[in-house]
A and B are shown apart, each in its own frame.
Chain A
Amino acid sequence: MTAEDIKHSPQRINVSIPIGKTIDSIIVSFKETTPYFKNHITKFTHKALNEEKLTQEFVALLRRKTIDLPFLIGQEKADVYHNSGGRVDFYFYWKEEMETTESFFDVEAKRLTDKFPKNRKKEYVIGENKNGGIERFKIEKHGKGISQCGIVGFIEDLTTDYWLKTINGWIIELSQTNDNWFEDEILFDPTDSDNYCCSFSNAKRLNSDSVLLHHFWIVL
């Protein structure tokens, strides 16, 4: 009997592809999906979807958009590789046959609304039960072992500019009262369009290197 075995050289791979290009291509697919998503939730769904339903529909359209790309998108993953305890909203893993299904890009989804009660107001950053968006990555509930992750924000009220200033204000406030938060964790390099806003932040982790967060906000 003859079987097949794939062997590859252990040398360091050296290509002139820019570092981080894989994640950049994923963010491009977010941008391309956004107009369809906005149209979709207006046309085909009931108003006032919760975070879970918004994420479900965004991921469904994202999967359709990226069907030919060499990765797959999973949802609500329990981390069987690091036992981190969290369940990330969606994640990307390699299509490669017979190999790991470990995530290489975890994404958390959060609503950005001024209608949250007081105890959920800052949930994009920090939550009452260690369930804040950025907080989950800092404590490695999500993104364990990964150097880049994402947060998709669904802007339901107010403007991208308002949320950028408000969220950075919360981070600065936390850095003055909490030893685990730092001023340089604020969001930076925002780029705006009518439909979305992209920015970055470095979330510092207690037990490993910082994780680069890609913030992708959809203006609903």
Chain B
Amino acid sequence: MTVEKITLKNGKLIVPNFPIIPFIEGDDVFSNYDISIIEDSVRVMADLFIHGENSNAVKPINTIDLNTIIENFGNEFSSVLNLMYEDENKKFRLDEVVSIDNSFIATIFKYDNTTSEKVKYSSQTGLDLVGLTHHEVSQHLNTNRIIKLYPQKDTIVFVKPNQYRYWISLIAYRDADKCFADLSKAGY
């Protein structure tokens, strides 16, 4: 076995000798969640690490892709919580998507007995969310706040920047893990 060195030269990763990576034959060792995480890591997160602020991952979602991307996020988020909380009557589902000034997206999840898969879409303008979601920690560090709300009964809302990286399956699982922690800590 050899020790490989990965170097960063002019912002690009250089791998002098490609490492010997164990190869797993067949894909039945991975769950659907694993496969989504691998795909997002390769397709989106790797691009983000390599290209940083110039990555496609930080660009606004193309209008043509919006419904597909957000509904996939909604399905993946709901599927994790439903593993724990779906019963004969109720389950989590994405109910509504609100585009805010084309800069932010709000997703509204409901826990109810609606069987309709149709997601409602709307747009809001003039809501100044920048002050709420953008926080300057220091001269050199800004944070983008992701807002998670439980504003009324059986409702979870996420408000996040309109960038690809926030609306992928990988992040849906992380957001669901956080909501699961909130719900179980609240005694549910």
| Chain A contacts for B180, CB-based, 8 A | 22, 70-71, 94-96
Q: A5-B146, A11-B150 are known; give 13 further A-B pairs, CB within 8 A.
A: A3-B137, A5-B144, A6-B145, A8-B150, A9-B147, A9-B150, A11-B149, A13-B182, A16-B90, A21-B188, A67-B31, A70-B180, A96-B177
B32 shortest CB reach to chain A, Å: 8
CA–CA, A148 to B34, complex, Å?
31
- Nearest-Cβ distance from residue A153 to partner chain B, whole angstroms: 25
B residues 133-154 in Cβ contact with A at 8 Å: 135, 137, 140-154
Question: Could you tell me the distance in whole angstroms from the C-beta of B187 to the nearest C-beta in chain A?
Answer: 5
A positions within 8 Å CB-CB of B: 1-9, 11-22, 25, 67-71, 94-97, 99, 104, 147
CA distance A2 to B55 in the complex (A): 13
Given A70-B177, A95-B177, A96-B177, A104:B185 Cβ within 8 A: yes
Q: How many residues of B contact A (CB 8 A)?
A: 40
Contact of B154 among A16, A104, A147 (CB under 8 A): A16
Per the 8 Å Cβ criterion, residues 147-176 of B in contact with A are: 147-154, 174, 176
Of the candidate stretches B10-18, B62-70, B80-88, the one touching chain A is: B80-88
B16 to chain A minimum Cβ distance, whole angstroms, is 29
A68 to B33, CA, bound (A): 7
Contact among A5, A21, A67 with B85 in the assembled complex (CB-CB below 8 Å): A21
A19 CB to nearest chain B CB (Å): 5
B73 within 8 A of A: no
**Complexed CA–CA distance, A65 and B152 (Å):** 34
